[in-house]
Amino acid sequence: MEVSTLLEEIRTYRGRDELPADFDDFWNQAIAELEFPVAYYLVEKDFGLPSVDCYEIQFDGTNGGKIYARMVLPKGAEKVPIIFHFHGYMGRSLDWSSMLPYITAGYGMVSMDVRGQSGYSLDGPRNVRGNTVKGQIIRGMVDGADQLFYKDVYLDVYTLVELVASLEGVDETRLSSYGASQGGALALVAAALNPRITSTVAIYPFLCDFRRVLEFGNTSEAYDELFRYFKFHDPFHETEEDVFGTLAYIDVKNLAHRIKGSVKMITGLADDVCYPITQFAMYNRLECEKEYHLMPEYAHEAMFVYADNKVFNWLCGTHFESKSLLTEFK
């Protein structure tokens, strides 16, 4: 698709399907059934850093999950604003050293391992019917929205925000969320399910507009399981409406209207994993303060060397200059 044609469509595109009539009731009820205060372990890690406190957080998630996160805080500070970071699909939380730059601006950072992926968080035991050969988007789908794997992940995100907000020394009124790909989706989920999140940065968010993804065809491992389901379990697409009716409950575009804080989104227009049009299905449904930033030559790839200063400034309210100000060499 030519860039000009794509830009014309994405300005108004809102996705292939509307959210289910009971969508908000579904998530409100799921949150209401969580038990607080949540039991957790907070383990201090001594890395010999004189100005930083480092902690491991462990808590019980839904359906037997065991959730792990890392947290760094400025040592001895009170009322610390927190940035919640979420990683990409099949990844893990940030290394300790990668979290330290935000300390210089007086911020703490929390980075969570998604259950069942590459970090320390554990998914609970599941008796799951259907195709589980690859991936997690459709896991539990054939048994309905309550059994979806990502329903539990989204509730893990909600619980983490509540837990950290309750900790002594944390400023519960200044919480932000940030991530790319799956992490961008979860950053948006954090804001949609928990109004404590006041600002969000989402880079090429995943998990949006599943039916449009199917129309594009199978171009990435991230969505491969959706195509495998139809190819090997329903080649005539007799269950297609049921499938998309169930996946609607974890479609991030359907959560957009719940976000009250500000959102900034970065999109690579050459992205063939999380297609730009699917990202804007979410963006155009946002009713909050929002802005998007396009990188026309970029796909679903590392763009952070050019975007890091922007993201840091957005999250911390600083003003690092993104462009080089070189004096003339003689």
Write the pLDDT tens digit of every residue in 163-185: 999 999 999 999 999 999 999 99
Residue that the structure tokens 């790909």 belong to: 181
Q: Is 152 among the catalytic positions?
A: no
Domain annotation covers residue 179 = yes
**Would you call 67 helix, strand, or coil by DSSP?**
strand
Q: Comparing C-alpha atoms, which of 63, 61, 57, 127 is closest to residue 85?
A: 57
89 is in an annotated binding site: yes
Average pLDDT over residues 41-54: 96
Assess if residue 326 is contained within a domain: no
What pLDDT shows up at residue 1? 57
**Is pLDDT above 60 for 323?**
no
CA 201 to chain centre: 10
Between helix 149-165 and helix 182-193 the angle, nearest 10°, is: 60
Domain contains 323: no
Residue 260 within any structural domain of the chain: yes
Average pLDDT over residues 247-267: 98
Catalytic site residue from 181, 199, 209, 262? 181
257 is written with which tokens?
Answer: 């209207």
Q: Which residue has the higher pLDDT, 317 or 175?
A: 175
Instruction: Convert the pLDDT of each residue in 93-122 to its tens digit.
Output: 999 999 999 999 999 999 999 999 999 999
Treating both helix axes as pointing N-terminal to C-terminal, what angle do 276-283 and 3-10 enclose, rounded to 10 degrees?
Answer: 20
User: Taking the mean position of all CA atoms in its chain, how far away is CA 249?
Assistant: 15
Is the pLDDT at 284 greater than 90? The verdict is yes
CATH number assigned to the domain comprising residue 213: 3.40.50.1820
Dmax over Cα atoms in the chain, in whole Å?
Answer: 72
pTM for this prediction:
0.94
Structurally, how many domains does the chain consist of?
Answer: 1
Task: State mean pLDDT over 13-40.
Answer: 96
Percent of the chain with pLDDT over 70: 96
Q: Is 132 exposed, middle or buried (0-12, 13-18, 19+ CB in 10 A)?
A: middle
- Print burial letters for 233-269: b (CB count within 10 Å at least 16), e (below 16): eeeeeebeeebbebbbbbbbbbbbebbebbbbbbbbb
Q: Is 181 a catalytic site residue?
A: yes
Q: What is the structure's pLDDT at 5?
A: 75
CA angle at 114 for the pair 184 and 20, rounded to the nearest 5°: 60
Tell me the mean pLDDT in the region 5-23: 92
* pLDDT of res. 318: 78
pLDDT the model gives residue 8: 87
Residue 329 maps to a domain:
no
| Whether residue 111 lies in the annotated active site | no
Give residue 236's domain range: 3-315
Reply yes or no on whether the pLDDT at 62 is more than 70.
yes
